[in-house]
Structure 1
């Protein structure tokens, strides 16, 4: 019941602002559903799965932490708060803001870190596939983020690590091929 309510709530919150998935133009709920499914693949903890559905609503919609607390209780609200970015545009450039958010996540519980790992996997896969240019910055940020997420689920951590390693290995192959074509050894 809790998980289904979270799914409906997140779907309505993202739909209310017309939010669509970047690159694919799918309804935004596709992403939280993917994150929740990954979390559900490693735990039957309904609060974690519910929080996975809700992980972007405070950042992206008109939903507040107080609303999450009221509708889903303190445990789900705490998990959502732990995975919600806390930086603001006035905090500085993107690199500075991402470091603030990384430090926030470093203090998160293993349960929240598991949700964030699933989020990272979903976003990384999508960005690598659809936006190679932005992927360079995004994957650098995610590589740093992995340093503070090791307390999350070990299988999701390994999966996220593999995506990052494969991305950098592929970039290295392209670099070597490009240099080889230019006669550089």
Structure 2
């Protein structure tokens, strides 16, 4: 199979896993976000594990899929390239928020986000590169559609970008610029 065929199968797997989930602000299926994240990332890398992880980055966090199931799927679709399948899963795990409300109900959002920030700062350069593409897509979407929440979100991701600076330098700069421009667009309205 070609890389594009593999990515198409992974996209369909992520779409199926997300089921009927929709984007919060638009009447689009959830998969549009991971696809946009992958496409943003594609401008900076063509490595299959990163592109696949971009498509899958919210699956473990937002669906019932567990890491062993995902690894089994990836091994099957990546032409038995076990190292690439394992790298993809590692990246997805690094992209998955651990300090969520369900797991830490006694902590408030600010406390959970601080713990998540410290965790993200320890992730590898590839996971941080995917995070930059995720931040870009979400910053644009949230700023355009939720003027009340956007300042809080932009503050949170600004903190992440200050701590998570090991990824692709060009995409990092773009993420910083998008966050800055998003802040400015809010201030202008």
What TM bracket, shorter-length normalisation? 0.7 to 0.9
Q: Which of 157, 161, 175 in structure 2 is aligned with 1:142?
A: 157
Q: Distance in 1 between matches of 2:145 and 2:71?
A: 35
Cα shift at 1:6: 1.5
* Unaligned segments of structure 1, at least 5 residues: 175-185
Q: Distance in 1 between matches of 2:114 and 2:156?
A: 9
* Unaligned segments of structure 2, at least 5 residues: 75-84
Please name the residue that 1:119 is paired with.
134
Higher Rg: 1
CA RMSD of aligned residues (A): 1.5
Please name the residue that 2:86 is paired with.
74
Please name the residue that 1:178 is paired with.
none
Q: Distance in 2 between matches of 1:37 and 1:12?
A: 19
Which structure carries more relative contact order (alpha carbon 8 Å, separation 6+)? 2
Please name the residue that 1:35 is paired with.
37
Please name the residue that 1:8 is paired with.
12
Cα shift at 1:14: 0.9
Q: Determine if contact 1:35/1:115 at 8 Å carries over to the other structure.
A: yes
Report which of the two has the higher share of helix: 1
The question of 1:106 aligning with 2:121 is answered: yes
Q: Determine if contact 1:2/1:47 at 8 Å carries over to the other structure.
A: no
Q: Distance in 2 between matches of 1:67 and 1:147?
A: 34
Give 1:126-165 correspondences, 5 Å limit: 126-165=141-180
Q: More displaced, 120-129 or 150-159?
A: 150-159
Q: Distance in 2 between matches of 1:26 and 1:172?
A: 28
Q: Determine if contact 1:105/1:113 at 8 Å carries over to the other structure.
A: yes
Superposed CA deviations along residues 27-78 of structure 1, whole A, max 9, x for unmatched, are 1110000001111111110010000000000111111122222222211110
Please name the residue that 2:51 is paired with.
49
